[in-house]
Amino acid sequence: MQTKSPLGNISIVLVDTKTPANIGAVARGMMNMGLSRLVLVNPPEDRDSEARKLAAGADDILGRAAVFSTLREAVADQGLVIGASRHRSRRRTNVHSPRETAEQAAPLLERNKVSLVFGNEVNGLENSDIALCHELVAIPSSEQFPSLNLSHAVMVVMYEFLAATMTGERLEARELAPVGELERFYAHLRDNLLRTGFINDRNAEDMMFSLRQVFGRARLDSREVSILQGVLSALEGRAKRD
Amino acid sequence: MQTKSPLGNISIVLVDTKTPANIGAVARGMMNMGLSRLVLVNPPEDRDSEARKLAAGADDILGRAAVFSTLREAVADQGLVIGASRHRSRRRTNVHSPRETAEQAAPLLERNKVSLVFGNEVNGLENSDIALCHELVAIPSSEQFPSLNLSHAVMVVMYEFLAATMTGERLEARELAPVGELERFYAHLRDNLLRTGFINDRNAEDMMFSLRQVFGRARLDSREVSILQGVLSALEGRAKRD
């Protein structure tokens, strides 16, 4: 385990879940996203074996799940309670997208316990449960088919929290080739194409412009520039040899 | 159905999926996110009844799924092919987060077919399949348990596309070359490089892989592919003339 993640302060709270397999799938998703605290409010009896099938190794999360009979008890020690609901209502105005929710809540994770609360598979959260939530998160979805699978809904919200706490990290941190290297390649290419007659003094600029656009978009690194130089030299060398 | 969504140009391509229930869960997620075109490459036989259980009404998506025996055929008419892979590698550098991927690709959806490709539940995509992808998307996850459930992975990427197309922003609406054209260019390039001896049977795959990455990142349109074909033919013709 590396340094303690702020995601450790998130609880996923499942209220009145009907299908044990969904609990297992949620536990697996939690493990994938780096979360660990699962809370079950009024869960089905005899859930364990079916839940474990879908948990794919997240048995530990299932085994340590806290169980309560009401949401009120479950969130008693939480600092921020966010309920998932796709139902907009006139009364309820603090409904945000998953991204807004995560970006606004992520800074709080350092010093606060945050619960993300999901209702049952058919009806979502009851009004009495929604009343316990500081705010709501609504996942965008098709108007025709808005009702997500429970574990999919939990996944999207957790993913946004992971993304929000990772900001600054970049999967891509490539070091691009210096422009000088690129220009030597373009000069080499241009010379070759002039010699073949593929371009001439009249259209050379236009054609090189198109090729520069292609390689510009490719954002080449030094190794790639030297491969392309190699390709060109090979074709050139072959031409000379032939 | 309201106005035609650009998401209609997205195909979800599942390669070598082992578990029919996952296909069903993906179909349901597609329906929720407003996608409709499912493509199955080498799917399990007798998948329908188990898949339908999880599809929760997305039977229509399952029923109309296109089936191919290879990924190469499945993406032949696609403009942009994005593979899901959690494996970072020294060789593969054009890997982006789901958000970056969706934000960069969303503007292309207006005029291009885009495939999101997911490998099997255990090993993900094979290298030969990854070679067909213009770029890769990697879902952030726990280092200890990085392997997401297939439908969870698809869900996260689709969700980002839905979020990206809801911003209303339109940056780039180029029409990319179909993969078939690109593959003819690669075949032509490969033949030439083999003949010059720049590559040989031992290193041809590695070198072509690097070149595919370069041109994949460049996201070529048909005009650019024919310019590159012209460049190659010119160098080849010169070689023959000399």
Average pLDDT of the segment spanning B27-55: 93
Question: In the prediction, which pLDDT does B103 show?
Answer: 92
**Alpha-carbon distance A7 to A35, whole Å?**
6
Nearest CA-CA partner of A7 in A117, A166, A153, A156: A166
When pLDDT is cut at 50, 70 and 90, the band that residue B116 belongs to is: very high
Locate the domains of chain B by residue range. 6-166, 179-241
pLDDT at A3 over 60: no
Residues of A within 8 A of B32 (CB-CB) are: 141-142, 145-149, 152
When pLDDT is cut at 50, 70 and 90, the band that residue B223 belongs to is: very high
Average pLDDT of the segment spanning B226-231: 93
Residue-by-residue DSSP string for B121-139: TTTB--HHHHTT-SEEE--
Average pLDDT of the segment spanning B57-86: 93
Task: Please give the residue that has the higher pLDDT: either B3 or B207.
Answer: B207
Angle (CA) A52-B20-B116 rounded to 5° is 105
**Which residue has tokens 């929604």?**
A130
When pLDDT is cut at 50, 70 and 90, the band that residue A221 belongs to is: confident
Average pLDDT of the segment spanning B22-51: 94
Average pLDDT of the segment spanning B127-139: 90
pLDDT at A225 over 90: yes
pLDDT at A213 over 90: no
Question: In the prediction, which pLDDT does A242 show?
Answer: 47
The CB density around residue A147, as the number of other CB atoms within 10 Å, is 18
Question: In the prediction, which pLDDT does A231 show?
Answer: 92
Distance in Å, alpha carbon of B102 to nearest chain A alpha carbon? 14
- Tell me the β-bridge partners of B13: B39, B117
User: Across the interface, do B145 and A235 touch by the CB < 8 Å criterion?
Assistant: no
Task: Please give the residue that has the higher pLDDT: either B39 or B209.
Answer: B39
* Nearest residue of B to residue A174, measured between CA atoms: B93
Q: Find which of A126-130, B172-176, B221-225 is predicted with most confidence, using mean pLDDT.
A: B221-225
Average pLDDT of the segment spanning A129-152: 90
Residues of B within 8 A of A159 (CB-CB) are: 98, 139-140, 156, 159
Question: In the prediction, which pLDDT does A131 show?
Answer: 81
pLDDT at A63 over 80: yes
Task: Please give the residue that has the higher pLDDT: either B113 or A213.
Answer: B113
Task: Please give the residue that has the higher pLDDT: either A241 or B232.
Answer: B232
Instruction: Give residue A9's identity as a one-letter amino acid code.
Output: N
Secondary structure percentages of chain B, helix, strand, coil, to 5 = 50, 15, 35
Question: In the prediction, which pLDDT does B242 show?
Answer: 47
pLDDT at A2 over 50: no
Question: In the prediction, which pLDDT does B92 show?
Answer: 63
User: Across the interface, do B159 and A147 touch by the CB < 8 Å criterion?
Assistant: no
Distance in Å, alpha carbon of B69 to nearest chain A alpha carbon? 29
- Per-residue pLDDT of B159-208, as tens digits, reads 999 999 886 444 445 788 888 898 999 999 999 999 988 899 899 999 99
Task: Quickly name the fold that domain B6-166 has.
Answer: Alpha/beta knot (3.40.1280)
Tell me the three state secondary structure of residue B160.
Answer: helix
Distance in Å, alpha carbon of A217 to nearest chain B alpha carbon? 5
Task: Please give the residue that has the higher pLDDT: either A46 or B118.
Answer: B118
User: CATH number of A6-165: 3.40.1280.10, 3.90.650.10, 3.40.50.410, 2.60.40.1890?
Assistant: 3.40.1280.10
Q: Which helix (H) or strand (E) holds B66?
A: strand B66-68
Task: Quickly name the fold that domain A179-241 has.
Answer: Helicase, Ruva Protein; domain 3 (1.10.8)
User: Across the interface, do B242 and A237 touch by the CB < 8 Å criterion?
Assistant: no
Residue-by-residue DSSP string for chain A: --SPPGGGGEEEEEES---HHHHHHHHHHHHHHT--EEEEESPPTT-HHHHHHHHTTTHHHHHT-EEESSHHHHTTT-SEEEEE-----SS---EE-HHHHHHHHGGGGGT--EEEEE-BTTTBS-HHHHTT-SEEE-----SSS----HHHHHHHHHHHHHHHHTTT--S----BPPHHHHHHHHHHHHHHHHHHTSS-TTTHHHHHHHHHHHHHHHT-BHHHHHHHHHHHHHHHHHHHH-
Question: In the prediction, which pLDDT does B235 show?
Answer: 84
When pLDDT is cut at 50, 70 and 90, the band that residue A89 belongs to is: low
Task: Please give the residue that has the higher pLDDT: either B241 or B233.
Answer: B233
Q: What is the ipTM of this complex?
A: 0.78
User: Across the interface, do B214 and A224 touch by the CB < 8 Å criterion?
Assistant: yes
Instruction: Give residue A55's identity as a one-letter amino acid code.
Output: A
Question: In the prediction, which pLDDT does B71 show?
Answer: 96
Average pLDDT of the segment spanning A108-126: 91
Instruction: Give residue A172's identity as a one-letter amino acid code.
Output: E
Question: In the prediction, which pLDDT does A172 show?
Answer: 44
Tell me the three state secondary structure of residue B49.
Answer: helix
